């Protein structure tokens, strides 16, 4: 029996998951991205889809028409709007999955858009970077039909663990974790910028190694920097959703909000060309020095 899976959003996650799922027997894979119609980026994205065995749909109506499962993999700030745009094209026989990093409250807003059309809504929370494991990355799921949907996709090689029949539990788990991970990234940005100014980064990392000897802090510092430089915009949006999650719990989201600001600041520096040519293979020292040079030029952080 064939299974139609459709991705809304053909970015890093959409491309990786769609390609791997398209290779599974009996899977019909499609994707749609607003950039498909972009004169510059569209041709390359559509070619990537064709070479991956993925049908590049012309719009959401075409995308949803033949799908059994529709998966939203867009940016956090677009999740609710995209659910609303897809909803008119869904039926009661389909399942809409939101795997975006958004708060429980925002997930519920997206779910309400979908439920109005009678379709099932399931939330996914991706719990680790996807690049290496691909579809085998650990995912938490939630919703009335989460167990059945997870079992069906696990049969294709995914690693999804249902955690609740309610919407929000999986997302809360993800975003509370993100406060630590993305918060540590933001701390390292600030720490290493100051350490490089004073010429004490080696001593700081050596001290961390004494306190936490199981980590290679030189590699960890570079890893944190590269992740923020590469994905700061998306991470900032996620941390804003984390702040909403904390605030909804009755706690002032001081750390989550601050981490969002740092991530967004680095994203803006990348957009301004500060890291041009140094994103993939440079260590944290060069990345830090590029920022420090920009700060000196502007005489402000």
Does position 15 have pLDDT exceeding 70, yes or no? yes
Q: CB 189: neighbour CB atoms within 10 A? A: 25
Q: Which residues of 131-156 are buried (b: 16+ CB within 10 A; e: fewer)?
A: eeeebebebbbbbeebbebbebbbeb
For residue 126, the surrounding DSSP H or E stretch is strand 120-126
What is residue 31's three-state secondary structure?
strand
What's the pLDDT score for residue 279? 63
Residues 100-148 pLDDT 10s: 999 999 999 999 999 998 999 999 999 999 988 999 999 999 999 999 9
Specify the pTM. Answer: 0.91
What is residue 36's three-state secondary structure?
helix
What's the pLDDT score for residue 199? 96
Average pLDDT on 83-112 reads 97
Is 245 buried (19+), middle (13-18) or exposed (0-12) by CB count in 10 A?
A: buried
- With cut-offs at 50, 70 and 90, classify the pLDDT of residue 299: low
> Cα 240 to the chain's mean position, in Å?
13
Q: CB 191: neighbour CB atoms within 10 A? A: 18
Residues 198-256 pLDDT 10s: 999 999 999 999 999 999 999 999 999 999 999 999 999 999 999 999 999 999 999 99
Distance between CA atoms of residues 140 and 164, nearest Å? 9
Average pLDDT on 79-92 reads 96
Q: CB 199: neighbour CB atoms within 10 A? A: 8
Domains along the chain?
A: 3-166 (3.40.50.720), 171-298 (1.10.1040.10)
């Amino acid at each position: 029996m064939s299974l139609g899976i459709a991705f809304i959003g053909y970015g890093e996650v959409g491309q990786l998951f769609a390609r791997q799922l398209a290779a599974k027997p009996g899977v019909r894979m499609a994707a749609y991205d607003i950039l498909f119609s972009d004169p510059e980026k569209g041709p390359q994205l559509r070619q990537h889809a064709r070479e991956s065995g993925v049908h590049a749909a012309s719009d959401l109506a075409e995308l949803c028409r033949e799908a059994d499962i529709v998966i939203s993999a867009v940016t956090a700030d677009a999740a609710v709007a995209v659910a609303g745009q897809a909803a008119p094209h869904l039926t009661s026989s389909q399942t809409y999955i939101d795997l975006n990093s958004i708060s429980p409250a925002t997930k519920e807003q997206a779910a309400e858009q979908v439920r109005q059309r009678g379709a099932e809504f399931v939330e996914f929370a991706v719990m680790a970077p996807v690049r290496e494991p691909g579809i085998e990355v650990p995912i938490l799921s939630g919703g009335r039909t989460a167990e059945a949907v997870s079992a069906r996709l696990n049969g294709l090689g995914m690693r999804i663990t249902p955690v609740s029949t309610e919407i929000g539990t999986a997302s809360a788990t993800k975003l509370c974790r993100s406060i630590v991970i993305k918060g540590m990234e933001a701390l390292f940005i600030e720490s290493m910028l100051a350490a490089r100014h004073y010429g004490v980064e080696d001593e700081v990392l050596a001290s961390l190694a004494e306190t936490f000897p199981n980590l290679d802090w030189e590699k960890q510092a570079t890893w944190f920097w590269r992740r923020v430089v590469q994905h700061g915009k998306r991470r900032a949006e996620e941390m804003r959703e984390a702040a909403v999650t904390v605030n909804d719990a009755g706690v002032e989201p001081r750390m989550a909000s601050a981490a969002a600001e740092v991530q967004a600041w680095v994203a803006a520096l990348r957009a301004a060309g500060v890291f041009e040519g140094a994103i993939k293979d440079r260590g944290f020292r060069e990345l830090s020095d590029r920022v420090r040079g920009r700060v000196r030029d502007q005489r402000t952080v």
